[in-house]
Amino acid sequence: MRFIAEEESMDTQEIMGWNFPDNNYGQVVGISDAGIETFNGSLNASLTREICQNSIDASVDSSGLPVRIEFSATQIAKENIPGYEQLLSTMESCYLFWKDLDNEKTYHFFANAIKCLKNDFVNVLMISDYNTTGLLGSEKELNTPWQNLVKGNGISDKNETSGGSFGIGKSAPFACSKLRTVFYRTLDINTIRATQGISRLVSHRVEKDKIAAGTGYYGNVNKNLAIECIDTLDKIKMRTSSGTDIFVIGYDNLEEWEEQIICELLEGFLLPILQGTLEVVIGDTFINAESLSRIMDYYKDKVKNAYNYYLVMTSEKTKTIEEDFHGMGTIYLKVLLDDDLNRNVMITRASGMKLFSKNRISRTIQFSSVLLMKGKELNAFFRKMESPQHNAWETDRYKEDPKLARQMRDELFAWVKRKVYELGEYQSGDELDAEGIGDLIPDFFDFDNAGTKKEEEAISNVIKEPWEVKVSEKPESLVSISKQIEMETKERYEDVGMLDEEGEFPTKDVPHGEFNSTDGGEGAPALGNSGEGNRPIEKYKEISTYRMRMFVSDTTETAYTLTFITDCDVNAGYIEVFISGEQSSIVPKIMIAKKVDSGIEELNTQGNHIKVSSIKKGIRNRIVFKLEEDELYTLEVKLYAGAI
């Protein structure tokens, strides 16, 4: 559908108006645009992230000036929207077309869009960048920054170190518009001006036997070309230096928009602001390297992770580690050890934009960290793993070799974790050693290859193999651990299988003991008689004297080795594993446990308990177990034997 404005420029022969090209009996486009839907979850945050990374990518490096981005909200009279009458008519056509098709989601959208357009004033968010190249190539037909933005679909011309790589970030401004209408304006470094409007709507009928495509353009309707200027946009703000402006017409997020954009800036672009390569104006708030301290202090409760990373980058206590990564570039890890930090690592790339936070590093070391990657090849490699939102590494996206991508990613994460532990003064293989039990030599064990030593770079101790350790039947030199405890009987519920037809376990009226849990732990579930549960119980008594030694035997697999000798026979019992110190409230979950003396015996586990049997007094027992959590703890154990 072609609309022609009333006036025609005789000098340029430009016919200005909206043009929605015929779909030529092809694809019918609905309201659920995949690119727009990608950003619908967090509109202002997505908009800020996409705009800022694009502006940073377009920096004029030779200027030495920071990229400057300005966000401002205003209103314009409806008649000042370029091609207002034509746009309103198109919206009405879209409404009627999809109303006839009984597509509720679509015609409701256009009912709201029409209502917005009929208001006397319409909200507009204007975003402008400065000290950038502007959008080059507006005078050319294909494959330029301007054409890829305005007419490209799934096209990205970014280099290896740029922020974007999918070409879908352009959808973020449309997601923020009730009208799905955006105007672009640029003055590039070659002094070429261009302006054009894009409305990403839906297919709609224009004539009895013709249907228009979903996307329309405002400008020169001959070939849908850009025009030099649009007066109503210049009246909002005139551009006099190189850069790009984006006008989001029908801006849909005015409530708390300034705070939301500020918070996303602090979360995602902390490093460029700190380094002085980016400064941003949001309404009346100016954020740059000098004002960042004050801004961060004001918003620290709303951007807690960003505040932690800010401390990492500004504290004199921060340690920096650097290392070459396979000759591809250099990785820098900045680590701050202090109380109440988030125990996360912020992962960034060359531009300094945050990709994501890596957790599951340590629950015991109080730290916060920032990882920076420098080098064209290194950034290009990891860039190929990024999700479209640039907030995750997904190794299957590295089409050349997903297995290699997974290996490199895991190696990088393992290096980060190892360095954090080293700085946290964690000593690999630290032991919990009962006083006087030095003769129980620790051994390393590979769960996959029993009887063979597992090589670990971080461990330099020479450890005897299992078969090389000799323990006397009656080790006279060992000192017993006497706990002087009262021999209190403990009750422990055992799972006996499926419930019967009435939702009961076979054994009725079992008391609700202290080991009960309703969240998947041990004990009778909240089923059966009055929710008390119906499982049989076994009774145990804690063993009062034993000789024990426990240590971390594999830091990468979170594996521990427990060696112990009892002073009594145990026909049936269990070992309770718990965390000591400040993390004692955390209940560990044992994933697998094996007894490794003469051969390998896999043991049953339940929660933080390991079931054991046939333990003879005076004989050394060695058990290797792994926790489900990717965490290393200081552990303690209690031994229980079956009681009659």
Cα-Cα end-to-end distance for the chain: 89
Higher-pLDDT residue of 503 and 615 is 615
Among 423, 455, 485, identify where a domain stops.
423
**Lowest model confidence (mean pLDDT) among 47-56, 165-174, 338-347, 599-608:** 165-174
| Residue that is written with structure tokens 């830091």 in the block | 555
For the chain, give the percent of residues with pLDDT over 90.
Answer: 50
- Asked, for residue 286, whether it belongs to a domain, the answer is no
Same domain, 413 and 450: no
CATH of residue 368: 3.30.230
pLDDT surpassing 60 at residue 470: no
What number is the average pLDDT over the span 496-501? 47
Reference 426, options 555, 333, 559; nearest CA is 555
Structure confidence at residue 197 (pLDDT): 97
Between helices 257-268 and 292-299, what is the axis angle to 10°? Answer: 110
Query: Which tokens is 400 given?
Result: 């050349």
Q: What is the mean pLDDT of the chain?
A: 79
Residue 451 CA, chain-centre distance (Å), reads 40
Rounded Cα distance between 26 and 213, Å, is 9
**Lowest model confidence (mean pLDDT) among 275-289, 368-382, 571-585:** 571-585
Structure confidence at residue 235 (pLDDT): 93
Among 205, 232, 254, identify where a domain stops.
254
**Lowest model confidence (mean pLDDT) among 14-23, 105-114, 360-369, 535-544:** 535-544
Same domain, 222 and 307: no
Same domain, 80 and 120: yes
**Is the pTM for the entire model greater than 0.75?**
no
Same domain, 387 and 441: no
Structure confidence at residue 207 (pLDDT): 82
- Asked, for residue 514, whether it belongs to a domain, the answer is no
pLDDT per residue as tens digits for the range 417-444: 989 988 885 433 333 333 333 333 333 3
**Is 512:524 a contact under the CB 8 Å cutoff?**
yes
Rounded Cα distance between 545 and 528, Å, is 39
- Asked, for residue 526, whether it belongs to a domain, the answer is no
- Asked, for residue 22, whether it belongs to a domain, the answer is no
Structure confidence at residue 479 (pLDDT): 31
For the chain, give the percent of residues with pLDDT over 70.
Answer: 76
Residue 251 CA, chain-centre distance (Å), reads 27
Structure confidence at residue 208 (pLDDT): 78
pLDDT surpassing 90 at residue 74: yes
pLDDT surpassing 50 at residue 370: yes
- Asked, for residue 475, whether it belongs to a domain, the answer is yes
Among 383, 399, 423, identify where a domain stops.
423
pLDDT surpassing 50 at residue 574: yes
Higher-pLDDT residue of 392 and 312 is 312
- Asked, for residue 4, whether it belongs to a domain, the answer is no
Same domain, 358 and 410: yes
- Asked, for residue 80, whether it belongs to a domain, the answer is yes
Structure confidence at residue 452 (pLDDT): 34
CATH of residue 447: 2.60.40
* Domain limits for position 73: 27-254
pLDDT surpassing 60 at residue 484: no
**Lowest model confidence (mean pLDDT) among 132-141, 202-211, 244-253, 545-554:** 545-554
pLDDT surpassing 50 at residue 467: no
